[in-house]
Amino acid sequence: MKIATEFSLDEISAVLARTPATLNALLRGLPDRWVLSNEGRGNEGKDTWSAFDIVGHLIVGERTDWMPRVRIILESGEARAFDPFDRFAQSRESQGKSLEQLLDEFASLRAENLAALRALNLRAEDFNRRGRHPALGVVTLSELLATWAVHDLTHLHQLSRVMAHQYRDAVGPWSAYLGVLHCTGHSA
Amino acid sequence: MKIATEFSLDEISAVLARTPATLNALLRGLPDRWVLSNEGRGNEGKDTWSAFDIVGHLIVGERTDWMPRVRIILESGEARAFDPFDRFAQSRESQGKSLEQLLDEFASLRAENLAALRALNLRAEDFNRRGRHPALGVVTLSELLATWAVHDLTHLHQLSRVMAHQYRDAVGPWSAYLGVLHCTGHSA
């Protein structure tokens, strides 16, 4: 049973379930300096994302990407390619909202999606079912679910980097010891 | 008043105060696979750190590094170099403890240290006071405090990377899109 040892829905769900509370603990109530783009602060420069943008992007994923793609795989397999993920939709959809509203919205969408995922009662053999990514080609359901979790982690990684960037000068010579200030692994 | 705009103790404390709850939300109760070194899992390979090791390292910093260095600057200035930070003390000090115990210990030490920092009633001019780092040379109190916060962020950055590493194969072709799997900014 390769699947049982290499892939576990419980293991993936454990990460997915924790992300909203993690972002909430990290971000809620922080001074704007850390979380909002404003006159060159709060992001990593022109056309980069602030914490506000990142949480908005995670919301768009919950609405349009992860569970819709799970359903496309289960219903159509490789016959229907996934809809592309709009990586810029958050600038429209987050407009006029506070970071606190976005954190609440993300938490409630994630909880709904995890409940919907459990309700599918997926069996071990389902995780090998195949779908078609518009750019990457054939992918499996297990790869999609693992990617959902690692996508959370890639944005937590980005968040810590964007926040650290605000103090890149303030740390003085310690910059040399702080790996986060030298990260080149930007999330795509 | 350059200090007032460029450096804010409240801004730094806001990050420092949130880290224990962030790590708690991210890590408490996760399956061992994600957090403990075990037969090549839970870290990034030989002599790298798991989540357990990282939280242990943060505890050592609370005990021996940050506030002791603040006090050395205030009491001795550049006359006395800081004690070096033992980056491997956690393997000894965490022995026999659970991750949950470490999370509790970190939270309580951090709360004590933030209370002690506030009790110093630092004035704006204090943040320019100078100390001597054993390797980096002259540093200021404001650089030390900014580094304390960015050090939290560098380990959150590392944690997200170590966790993502566990699924580096499971994500299949999506690996190309997940920046956290391509990060080379390792924390020193």
Question: pLDDT value at position B185?
Answer: 61
Which of A24, A144, A154 minimises the CB distance to B178?
A154
Which residue from A100, A99, A101, A107 is spatially nearest to A37, judged by alpha carbons? A99
Q: Distance between the two ends of chain B, CA-based, in angstroms?
A: 33
Give the chain B residue whose CA is nearest to the CA of A144. B171
Say how far apart CA B54 and CA A127 lie, in whole Å.
Answer: 33
CA A55 to chain centre: 8
Give me the mean pLDDT over the B145-149 stretch.
98
In a 3-state reduction of DSSP, which class is residue A183? Answer: coil
ipTM attached to this prediction: 0.94
Say what the pLDDT of residue A85 is: 85
The angle subtended at Cα A15 by Cα A11 and Cα A21, nearest 5°, is: 150
Do residues A51 and A27 touch, judged by C-beta distance below 8 A? yes
Q: Above 50 in pLDDT, residue A106?
A: yes
pLDDT classification of B10: cutoffs 50, 70, 90 = very high
Contact B21 A18 (CB under 8 A): no
CA-based nearest distance B82→chain A, Å: 13
Query: How far, in whole angstroms, is CA A51 from its chain's centroid?
Result: 12
Size of interface A-B (CB pairs under 8 A): 199
Over the stretch A71-105, which tens digit does the pLDDT of each residue have? 999 999 999 999 988 888 888 888 999 999 999 99
| Structure letter (DSSP) for residue B61 | I
| Residue in A34, A36, A147, A152 to test binding to B, most B beta-carbons within 10 Å | A147
* DSSP β-bridge partners for residue B139: B131
pLDDT per residue as tens digits for the range A133-147: 999 999 999 999 999
CA-closest candidate to residue A116, choices A146, A84, A156, A74 = A74
Does the pLDDT at position B4 exceed 70?
no
Six-digit token string for B185: 């900014």
User: How do beta strands A130-133 and A137-140 pair?
Assistant: antiparallel
Taking CB atoms and an 8 Å limit, are A180 and B185 in contact across chains? yes
Instruction: Please report where in the chains the tokens 């399956």 appear, as a residue.
Output: B31
Q: Please report, rounded to a whole number, the percentage of residues in chain B having pLDDT higher than 70.
A: 95
The tens digit of pLDDT for each residue in A30-70 reads 999 999 988 778 999 888 999 999 999 999 999 999 999 99
Phi and psi of A61, rounded to 5°?
-60, -45
A66 vs B contacts (CB less than 8 Å): none
Strand partners, A137: A133
Interacting residues of A89 by C-beta distance below 8 A, sequence separation 6+: A60, A64
Burial A105-125 (b: 16+ CB within 10 A, else e): bbbebbeebbeebeeeebeee
For B183, which of A167, A178, A183 is closest by C-beta distance?
A183
Instruction: Give B137's contacts (C-beta < 8 A, 6+ positions apart).
Output: A173
Q: Which of B27, B133, B180 sits opposite A185 (nearest CB)?
A: B180
| Cβ-defined contact of B29 to A10 (cutoff 8 Å) | no
Structure tokens at A174: 């310690």
Interchain contact, B14 vs A6, CB within 8 Å: no
- DSSP element (H, E) containing B137: strand B137-140
Mark yes or no for CB contact B146/A167 under 8 Å.
yes
What is the per-residue pLDDT for B58?
A: 97
Confidence (pTM): 0.94
Q: Tell if the CB–CB gap between A170 and B25 is shorter than 8 Å.
A: no
What pLDDT, on the 0 to 100 scale, is given for residue A143? 98
B95: which 2 tokens? 């022995």
Quote the CA–CA distance of B23 and A21 in Å, as a whole number. 10
Q: Which residue of B has its CA nearest to A32?
A: B11
Structure confidence at residue A46 (pLDDT) = 87
Which run of H or E residues covers position A138?
strand A137-140
A8 chain-B contacts, CB cut-off 8 A: 31
